[in-house]
Amino acid sequence: MTQFSEQDLSCDALLGGRLHLFQPQKGYRAGVDPVFLAASIPARSGQQVLELGCGAGAAILSLAARVPDLALFGVEIQPAYAALARRNAAHNGYALEVVGGDLANLSAPLRDAQFDYVLANPPYFRGGAHSPAADPGRRKALGEETPLDLWFDAGARRLRPRGYLHMIQRVERLPEMISACADRLGSLEVLPLAPRIGRAPDLIILRARKGGKADFRLHAPLILHAGARHERDGESYRPEIQDVLRNGAALCWP
């Protein structure tokens, strides 16, 4: 599929309506994860940012909604999602250059470019490690085809010296992520995202620096929901998490 038909799409509000995203009604749809990833990046106006596997643009456009005047670039292997990312950027008034293709074979302009930040929300599940989704786009977005090591290799190569890679992933894949940083990236920091107090984290955000020499840091978990358990209908996000999800606030590293 090179493009979604209009009847297959919905236009959904993110960041309390600061961002509107066209995405398929069936298939891969952005949740809170790309918003958390974008919120973790302390970019400044004028810097260059690349997202690997940008999908429909939820993460990089969430970052653009918080930090003005960034130079935005994305890579997306699925043509239909690449087209959506371009449409979503234009719809929200942002300039985003999306390049189609595989991380292992980036086009010449990106191969020669360097970025202050690279962000990525790779598929969470190893190939064959979960029941595949029926929708091919969702199946490709959630199920790994490109090895996680290659995501780190592509990201590290695109960073300028002292630039940062930010990646969100499932916590059980942290050993692979640390291993993939060896001889590529340093100054690793890990921020676990735990659903509630007393609950083990499901996701982590890893931050690594090209040329970084600082010791590894494992931060205390960021607790997403108030209370020890879900006790009522509706959202129960803690106020600082609500601020990230509804107001586009930054997620500050400890």
Average pLDDT over residues 213-235: 82
Contacts 24+ apart (CB under 8 A), 21-26: 21/56, 21/57, 21/58, 21/61, 21/88, 22/56, 22/84, 22/87, 22/88, 22/91, 23/56, 23/58, 23/84, 24/135, 24/137, 26/135, 26/138
Is the predicted pLDDT of residue 48 greater than 60, yes or no? yes
Q: Poorest-confidence range of 26-35, 44-53, 69-78? A: 26-35
Say which residue, 26 or 68, is predicted with more confidence.
68
Name the residue ranges covered by the structural domains of the chain: 7-223+234-247
pLDDT at 233 over 60: no
**Which tops the pLDDT comparison, 12 or 111?**
12
Mean of pLDDT values over 220-231: 81
pLDDT attached to residue 137 = 45
Phi-psi region of 186 (alpha: psi -120 to 50; beta: other; left: phi over 0): beta
State how far the Cα of 184 lies from the Cα of 147, in Å rounded to an integer: 16
Closest CA to 35 of 210, 237, 185, 200: 237
Return the pLDDT at 142: 45
Q: Pull the structure tokens for residue 248.
A: 């586009």
| Residues in a beta bridge with 19 | 14
pLDDT at 95 over 80: yes
Q: How far apart are CA 96 and CA 21, in angstroms?
A: 14
Identify the architecture of domain 7-223+234-247 in CATH: 3-Layer(aba) Sandwich (3.40)
> Is 0.85 surpassed by the pTM of this model?
yes
Token pair of 156 as six digits: 């590290």
197 alpha carbon, distance to own chain's centre = 24
Nearest to 208 by CA among 173, 239, 237, 179: 179
DSSP reduced 3-state for 8: helix
Side chain identity at residue 203, one-letter code: L
Q: Using CA atoms, how far apart are residues 210 and 75, in angstroms rounded to an integer?
A: 20
Hey, what are 215's tokens?
A: 């010791």
Q: What does the alpha-carbon distance between residue 146 and residue 88 come to, in Å, rounded to a whole number? A: 25
- Cα distances from 109 to residues 19, 47, 98, 106, 113, in angstroms, run 28, 17, 11, 8, 6
Give residues with Cβ within 8 angstroms of 153, minimum separation 6: 180, 184
- With 0-12 / 13-18 / 19 or more C-beta atoms within 10 angstroms meaning exposed / middle / buried, residue 61 is buried
